[in-house]
Amino acid sequence: MRFVHESLPQRVCFDSGGAARAVAAEIELVKAERLMVVAATPEADLAERVTAGLPVVVRHDEVVMHVPIEIAERARKVAANRAVDALVCVGGGSTTGLAKAIAMTTGLPIVAVPTTYAGSEATPVWGLTDGDRKTTGVDPVVLPRSVVYDASLTLGLPVEMSVASGLNALAHCVDSLWAPGANPLNAALAAEGARALHGALPEVANHPKDLPGREQALYGAYLAAVAFAAAGSGLHHKICHVLGGKYNLPHAQTHAIVLPYVLAFNAPNAPEAADRLARAFGTPSAPAGLESLRARLDAPRALRDFGFAESEIPAAVSAILPFVPASNPTPVTPDDLALLLRAAWEGSDWR
């Protein structure tokens, strides 16, 4: 047995109903006196409640999906002009991503308060988009110093978005089992995350105003993100990052749609990973278990429903191929990738 596993230096607080109390405690630990609160307009009231009584000097709401570089630059200037000494981000992956973009050039500590199951808050991964090209990287400076998980803050997340975001979290589990840095420790985290999400998401869909399902979904999303942070990006994430940046497709829905095709493609040549997922799902087959879950959730099914055109498939194949990990369990050819994208485009069965 030979592997390297890196544990991340981060405080994680689960406190349903107690976000304001927990955030105040984390800000006291970092000894911050001039806070920049990053939250998109729909989360502005929520962010104000969470940060009430704290030394906020600026509230920044220019949050855009995939973090365009020009948006990041403006936010960095705001932080510099207001002499900010810490960041609090309240929202989903795009909001956390913008806070990371600020931290990347300033070194400011982040206290993240997620309202979705995106998982970005638990990784040192950043992403920026320049034109139609999305670039991602890893830098420990962007890892939030603290994360506050309060399931009550997710109660307002619509079921449709909760499903897509939860399947995005599940994609972290799946990709972590065969990504370049996969190892037995992150496999254990990924399997437990998959088990928790598999049980939680139907509860969220059926009882969206109840806390237990939301709590388990956050727990599973956190485990998924920690596994992903150690393993790195596998084939699934490489595909989705290119599609999201190049065609401005919605992040969570793109992951939810592409995931079953990547799992079906890799599972035959990754039997140990497939067995782990099958056990987590409580089904004989990992692909079948995922499809059953997606059917129960009425998950998004086709990329064409979100603006991806069939005519773009050849260009997408060419853009994705350079980023395919050499360690992927199943060798990836241009024809295979084109078939996978075509099936995801139309939402059809494949293989």
Which tokens sit at 238?
A: 């490489």
Residues with Cβ within 8 Å of 31's Cβ and at least 6 positions away in sequence, in order, are none
Residue with tokens 């006196």: 33
Phi, psi of 172 (to 5 degrees): -60, -40
Count H helices, E strands: the chain? 13, 8
Distance of CA 253 to the CA centre of its chain: 11
Q: Outline which parts of the chain fall under CATH 1.20.1090.10.
A: 161-346
CA dist., res. 221 & res. 12, Å (int): 13
Q: Is the dihedral of CA 273, 278, 284, 287 positive or negative?
A: negative
pLDDT score at 77: 97
CA dist., res. 142 & res. 211, Å (int): 30
SS3 285: coil
Instruction: Please report, as a single letter, which amino acid is at residue 11.
Output: R
Which tokens sit at 149?
A: 């998980």
CA dist., res. 124 & res. 142, Å (int): 5
DSSP string, 291-329: HHHHHHHT----GGGGT--GGGHHHHHHHHGGGS-TT-S
Assigned CATH class of 161-346: mainly alpha
Provide the whole-model pTM.
Answer: 0.92
∠ CA 19-25-26 to the nearest 5 degrees?
90
pLDDT digits (tens, 9 = 90+) for 252-290: 999 999 999 999 999 999 999 999 999 999 999 999 999
Distance of CA 220 to the CA centre of its chain: 12
pLDDT score at 350: 66
- What's the number of CA atoms in the CB half-sphere (13 Å) around residue 26? 30
pLDDT score at 261: 96
CA dist., res. 118 & res. 240, Å (int): 14
In the chain, which residues have pLDDT < 70?
350-351
pLDDT score at 348: 87
Contact between 303 and 229 (Cβ < 8 Å): no
pLDDT score at 161: 93
Q: Outline which parts of the chain fall under CATH 3.40.50.1970.
A: 11-154
Assigned CATH class of 11-154: alpha beta
pLDDT score at 351: 62
